[in-house]
Amino acid sequence: MATIKDIAKAAGVSVTTVSRALNGYSDVNEKTRTKIKEIAEQLQYSPNALARSLVMNKTNTVGLLVSELNRSGVKDNFTFEVMCGINDSLGDLGYDLILFNTNTAKQKKKSYAQLSRERQVEGVIIQGMKKDDPYLKEVIDSNIPSVLIDIEMKGTNVGYVTTDNEFGAQMAMKHLINYGHRNIAMINGSDQALISRKRLKGYKKVLKDAEITFNENYVVDGAFSEQKSEEVALQLLEEHPEITAIFCASDLMAMGVLKAAKKKGFHIPEDLSVVGFDDITLAAYVDPPLTTIAQDKYQIGYEAAKLLIDMLQGKDQRRMKMLDNHLIIRETTAPLQR
Amino acid sequence: MATIKDIAKAAGVSVTTVSRALNGYSDVNEKTRTKIKEIAEQLQYSPNALARSLVMNKTNTVGLLVSELNRSGVKDNFTFEVMCGINDSLGDLGYDLILFNTNTAKQKKKSYAQLSRERQVEGVIIQGMKKDDPYLKEVIDSNIPSVLIDIEMKGTNVGYVTTDNEFGAQMAMKHLINYGHRNIAMINGSDQALISRKRLKGYKKVLKDAEITFNENYVVDGAFSEQKSEEVALQLLEEHPEITAIFCASDLMAMGVLKAAKKKGFHIPEDLSVVGFDDITLAAYVDPPLTTIAQDKYQIGYEAAKLLIDMLQGKDQRRMKMLDNHLIIRETTAPLQR
DNA sequence: TTGTATGCGTTATCAG
DNA sequence: CTGATAACGCATACAA
């Protein structure tokens, strides 16, 4: 636990000199510097980031706020991959990442600004927050630089990163239309999520372009849940036997549809084509492997961190970043059988 | 950015009094306290954890060091689930978690002790480290309280959390033996991992108990890799057609075996029984669903954090924790066909 | 080129 | 019950 003081004493100089020598200032005798460096090494000195941050008013630390980072939601590795991207990006940029441990109970006790200020983070990346989360308003109102993932909201100090959900949905739908499908249903996530609205928009757009009348009964809410989707899909297929394809706003929901189809004795993809969204790891492993719109989750995280740091440095004025998705054709889609 | 000073000024008292009032000391007039609290609220005050840590010499922060927290290794959610457990546990205990962003290049520049001291963490949890990682020695040598996950090493300030790998392997093997199998192969992970040795030990133990001679040609190295396992399994099944069951030291490797079996036209589980280890999310989704030894990954993380904090508080003398595993029978194992 | 003094925001000691 | 003062480890303006 050697401090700058110990080095100063050992080297017979003042702490000032040590500080400057170690931080590469030019106005220090090279002999002195080498001597100090040697001693520092000997003593296994490493600067106390706390003290430094305190005096410099700069922590080089970013907070990560993940709603409900717990047992649930482990099934899709979305969160984790984003996190890896964030971590790598911050590493490249010389920042550290601190995980905000919070939950609804704690949120009531401490405001967003308090949480952030307490830990003296320079900015925060926020993931998995619902649109109706009370914290969201605080985020916007606070002047803490923040980057939201998949929530398109901007403020003076707030930016976001997302993928092109609308175009992604269009790719999925075009794929189905090209395969001759016309009675295409959609299992969407909750309305609360912006991505749901975007994906619905893409769905409608393609229908319109293909001159297919939009049927609102064809769009049901799967709440981003596998089980819920299984239920609604079962009902949907029951009520509308003419449906030959389903576009799902997430892979997890698509997996629910697959289960529903199996229960009804449907053979996939011959009797029903299914397209998912996300390309979670499971997508390639379910039976049959899922055709889906792949999001580059790692990249989302990487760009989010980059955007945040750019914002901190006043380098980014747009405060948003939209990434491309792409279609992965596996085995849950097939040309329409006549 | 209100500080304790601002409050003191606004309340017309000294900073000392503010500090004590806010920290719940008894020796402060209740009237003064309420007044101070009001002002604090008004000013949206929250204490600067940095300053506090500096003077108290206590950061309430724990570091998490994950080897290669990047794109690779995302396939199994092991790391992530452990992390969730750590996060929750630390939240319960009032600690924060900071992610150490490190890689081999950075490790060369900065020692473990330096890394830890720099960030002033009170302790570190280490996950996914190989036994031959040069950092490991540093961990042991440093006096930084550390908890290793799945590396059974103890030191004055070093403890570990693991699951009962030997017994887990025994359960897997007993299951196969009970099904009548006698020619049971094993695909193990790399020798570098302690868990591999433990699992091998369990494998041998059960063979011995069942009075089956151990055949060293039946044990091959799958390097914890799906692809490598597919290769070695293919060769194994080629050379030893008498084998009717394979115990794999990880689910990922078991998935490789499943692929190999498919290539050979084997029907699972009729022609070959397969047992995995870990119970990663994919295990339930591969075709057919994998019989495996489940580890409670979340719990591993939870206990690791708990152990670390206990160690910090001098509460734990044993410095180790072993968790139970359990067998999950799915559809890759069946009674031996005669 | 080097040293002295000051301050970052907080808590602890001790005197009043 | 309250306040002045020192201290934590470091960086920096200013003086020498």
- Chain B partners within 8 Å of A289 (Cβ): none
Choose from B22, B56, B61, B80 for mutation: most chain A CBs within 10 A: B80
Task: For B143-174, write each residue's pLDDT tens digit.
Answer: 899 999 999 988 889 999 999 999 999 999 99
Name the nucleotide with the smallest C1'–CA separation from B14.
D3
Considering only residues B331 and B131, tell me which one the structure prediction assigns the higher pLDDT. Answer: B331
Question: Which of A81, A90, A102 is the closest to B101 by Cβ?
Answer: A90
Cβ of B16 near strand D (under 7 Å)? The reply is yes
Question: How many Cα atoms are found within 13 Å in the side-chain-facing hemisphere of B153?
Answer: 23
Q: Name which of A171, A149, A169 is nearest A158 in CA terms.
A: A149
- Chain B partners within 8 Å of A285 (Cβ): 282, 285-287
**Does residue A338 register a pLDDT over 70?**
no
Six-digit token string for B316: 């734990």
**Does residue B107 register a pLDDT over 80?**
no
Going by pLDDT thresholds of 50, 70 and 90, the confidence category of residue B121 is: very high
pLDDT score for A70 = 66
Task: For A278-314, write each residue's pLDDT tens digit.
Answer: 999 999 989 899 999 999 999 999 999 999 999 999 8
pLDDT score for B129 = 84
Residues 27-86 of A with CB under 7 A from strand D: 45, 47-48, 51-52, 54-56
CA-based nearest distance A118→chain B, Å: 5
- Strand D nucleotides within 7 Å of a protein CB: 1-5, 7-13
- Strand C nucleotides within 7 Å of a protein CB: 1-5, 7-13
Going by pLDDT thresholds of 50, 70 and 90, the confidence category of residue B268 is: very high
Task: For A313-331, write each residue's pLDDT tens digit.
Answer: 988 889 999 999 999 999 9
B101–A99 CB contact, under 8 Å: no
CA-based nearest distance B216→chain A, Å: 33
Chain A contact present for B46, CB below 8 A: yes
**Does residue B317 register a pLDDT over 90?**
no
Going by pLDDT thresholds of 50, 70 and 90, the confidence category of residue A103 is: confident
Q: Are strands A326-328 and A291-294 parallel, antiparallel or unpaired?
A: antiparallel
pLDDT score for B70 = 66
**What is the spatial distance, in angstroms and rounded to an integer, between the CA atom of B124 and the C1' atom of D8?**
23
Task: For A176-209, write each residue's pLDDT tens digit.
Answer: 999 999 999 999 998 878 889 999 999 999 999 9
**Does residue B219 register a pLDDT over 90?**
yes
Choose from A1, A22, A44, A46 for mutation: most chain B CBs within 10 A: A46
pLDDT score for A317 = 82
CA-based nearest distance A321→chain B, Å: 21
- Mean pLDDT score of chain B, rounded to an integer? 92
Give the domains, in start order, of chain B with CATH numbers: 4-56 (1.10.260.40), 61-164+297-324 (3.40.50.2300), 165-295 (3.40.50.2300)
pLDDT score for A73 = 62
**What is the spatial distance, in angstroms and rounded to an integer, between the CA atom of A56 and the C1' atom of C3?**
21
By percentage, how much of chain B surpasses pLDDT 90? 76
The Cα-based distances of A271 to A102, A181, A268, A289 in angstroms read 45, 11, 6, 15
**Does residue B140 register a pLDDT over 80?**
yes
Please check whether residue A195 is in contact with residue A188, taking contact to mean a CB–CB distance below 8 angstroms: no
pLDDT score for B71 = 64
Cα separation of B156 and A206, whole Å?
65
Q: In chain A, which among 186-205 make CB contacts under 8 A with chain B?
A: none
| Averaged pLDDT for residues B98-127 | 86
Choose from A58, A71, A252, A290 for mutation: most chain B CBs within 10 A: A71
Chain A contact present for B3, CB below 8 A: no
| Averaged pLDDT for residues A126-130 | 87
Task: For B91-103, write each residue's pLDDT tens digit.
Answer: 989 899 999 877 7
Task: For A15-48, write each residue's pLDDT tens digit.
Answer: 999 999 999 998 889 999 999 999 999 999 999 9
A to B CB pairs, distance under 8 Å: 141
